[in-house]
Chain A
Amino acid sequence: MSSVSQLQNPTQDGTILAVNNIEVVFNDVILVLRGLNLTAERGKITALLGANGAGKSTTLKAIAGLLGSEDGEVSRGDIVYNGMNITQMSPEQRVRNGTFLVMEGRGIVQDMTVIENLRLGAFTQPQKNVAEDMEKVFNYFPRLRERTGLAGYLSGGEQQMLAIGRALMARPNLIMMDEPSMGLSPLLVKEVFGIIKRMNEELGISVLLVEQNANMALRAADYGYIMENGKIVLDGTAEELMNNEDVKEFYLGGGGNERKSFKNIKSFKRRKRWL
């Protein structure tokens, strides 16, 4: 165990987030993450991919400190952000330190207006920044400026933009996004990923991206991890992963256009990364 945490030295300059060998347990009995390791580079987009139930969202919630309300806890390992051990820190303290999680399903407060939602994002910020930051967000998302009604009546794409805008209001260094493409049309997915890329490049915000849509995610990301059953099984640069045969087969839906028959089934032996 200790050798692992030495391998991923958190004080290394380029690393903004290092998750070292964490285990997450729900209700004291259900082991969801079993020794998960990952790092996110400063100023880069890191993608975390995997099937349903692999533990991707749990990983993000562990980093954001939101497991407590679901009766879960990090029972082993540590999470290091910016050289600080944040494993036991309260969620609000983590937000103050510059991490921000855009939750799955966007977490927009439906019965508030767009402006009220944005002000909520700036809850941890001094109030004098609010007007200025809101102007910035509206420049990013001009469409939100015209929406004066309740946030619940916005379209899915607009809600996703509002969620990203609200995250920007908190002036984070690391944004974690849980399935930004959920429930959006392909065109909107493209737009949202464009925005993520843009905010990464223009504002220098590091991004940790959890996605089902592996294709889109790897195209936007610099580095990727693939998760299965609470563990990382494969990692590499986005390019490496996109060209990996196993990833193509299992996550990118490649494998040619020829018709497949049960005759041709072969058992895949996946390369596992053993830590």
Chain B
Amino acid sequence: MVQAHARKNSWLGDVKMNWDLLFQLMINGIIVGLLYGVVAMCFVLIYKSTQVVNFAQGEFLVLGAWVCWFFVMKWQLPFVLAFIFAMAFMTIFGILVQMVILRPLIGEPIISVIMVTIGLSIFMQALMNWVFGNSAERFPSVFGDETISIGGLQVETAYLMSLVLSLVVMGLFYYFFKFSRYGLAMRATAFNQQVAQSLGISVKQVFAMAWAISALVSCIAGVVLGLVNAVSNSLAIIGIKVFPAVIVGGLDSIVGAVIGGVIIGLLENLAEFFDGQFFHIGNMYTVAPFYVLIIILMIRPYGLFGTKDIERI
């Protein structure tokens, strides 16, 4: 009805803006964007401390979601327990990936490492297709479908939970890197590996830790997405959507990753709004972030918060 109304009038004419819808979509954008931010943080964490561009980030997330789904549906574990088990599984998985696949590649050219992570992503896609099938599976409804009204806006509980978890993860990241000694060690390693070694920090341990944390947090994001939508291999597309977020924010800035995530989330939803209301091109939702990616790469190739000397790939 809204669309018909908009179509009747030229979009510069006496169109009434649908403020409620716009507002609703912006809230959605922020919530989804924060989730992008969380995944982008994982990506930046690995890039910053180990100089590896992890193209398998999306698959990490899907694997986490599948494992949690598996524990809930097949082993009939209560959701919280399954979630904890899945996180533990992914932590170990992250460490193993680093030790078995990436450690032998230290010192190899960056293109080799990139090819390996792309290969890992394809391998994991195929493996999950084989083990879990390629149809989408729903979690048993954990939070129900009820919505909560906040200031006249209807927000689904699942979205709200996603918002809370994203903020908690970000808070923990902040605490970890600011106050814990392992967080400081990771920052020192990111700054200069030789300096870190001279301080008694084991760079190998830091690398393993970066992958462990990244896999763990990806698992959280994956389970949240699985709850909101459904678990399916196509969720790995988030791993690609995170690229615009990371590049907007700057490849090596964790704060930038969060802000980049929110920008991309908002942009997607705004694109959907304006497309639905005025342009009727269709699917602008999916492509808008990538237009922004191209523009950002042309104007500020190191991102909004990144350091300028980053090697581009």
Contact = CB atoms under 8 A, between A and B. Distances in A.
B7 interface: no
Contact of B184 (A92, A107, A119): A119
B18 interface: no
Given A107-B192, A109-B191, A109-B192, A91 B197 contact: yes
A226 interface: no
Interface stretch (A7-15, A121-129, A227-235): A121-129
Interface stretch (B135-143, B199-207, B292-300): B199-207
B181 A123 contact: yes
B193 interface: yes
Contacts of B188: 109, 112, 120
B194 A112 contact: no
Interface stretch (A33-41, A95-103, A203-211): A95-103
- B: interface residue count bin: 10 to 19
B194 A95 contact: no
A94 B201 CA distance: 11
Contacts of A64: 198
A239 interface: no
A245 interface: no
B197 A109 contact: no
Contacts of A122: 181
B61 interface: no
Contacts, number: 69
A65 B187 CA distance: 21
Given A64-B198, A121-B199, A110 B191 contact: yes
A112 B187 contact: yes
B195 A124 contact: no
A98 B199 CA distance: 11
A170 B200 CA distance: 9
B185 interface: yes
Contact of A123 (B192, B193, B199, B203): B199
B135 to A, nearest CB: 47
Contacts of A107: 192, 194-195, 198
Contacts of A249: none
Interface in A77-109: 90-92, 94-96, 100-101, 103, 107, 109
B270 to A, nearest CB: 34
- A: interface residue count bin: 20 to 34
Contact of A101 (B181, B198, B202): B198
Contacts of B107: 71
A119 B180 CA distance: 10
Contacts of A96: 200
Contacts of A70: 194
A201 interface: no
A166 B268 CA distance: 47
A91 B198 contact: yes
Of the listed residues A91, A101, A111, A127, the one surrounded by the most CB atoms of chain B closer than 10 A to its CB is A91
A127 B198 contact: no
Contacts of A110: 191
B194 A66 contact: yes
A124 B202 CA distance: 10
Nearest to B307: A111
Contacts of B195: 103, 107, 109
Nearest to A122: B181
A170 B194 CA distance: 17
A69 interface: yes
A112 B184 contact: yes
Contacts of B203: 69
Interface string A111-144: 1100010011111100100000000000000000
Interface string B268-309: 000000000000000000000000000000000000000000
A116 B184 contact: yes
A171 to B, nearest CB: 11
Contact of B187 (A95, A109, A124): A109
A106 B119 CA distance: 40
Nearest to A113: B178
Of the listed residues B181, B200, B203, the one surrounded by the most CB atoms of chain A closer than 10 A to its CB is B200
Given A107-B192, A109-B188, A116-B184, A124 B200 contact: yes
A207 B185 CA distance: 26
B185 A120 contact: yes
A78 B202 CA distance: 22
A92 B185 contact: no
A120 B194 contact: no
Contacts of A65: 197
Contacts of A170: 199-200
A119 B199 contact: no
Given A94-B200, A120-B184, 5 more contacts: A64-B198, A69-B194, A95-B200, A123-B181, A123-B199
The 3 closest A-B pairs by CB, nearest first: A95-B200, A124-B200, A107-B195
24 contacts: A65-B197, A66-B197, A91-B197, A91-B198, A95-B198, A101-B198, A103-B195, A107-B192, A107-B198, A109-B187, A111-B187, A112-B188, A116-B187, A119-B181, A119-B184, A120-B184, A120-B188, A120-B199, A121-B199, A123-B184, A123-B199, A123-B201, A127-B181, A166-B199
Interface of A: 64-66, 69-71, 90-92, 94-96, 100-101, 103, 107, 109-112, 116, 119-124, 127, 166, 170
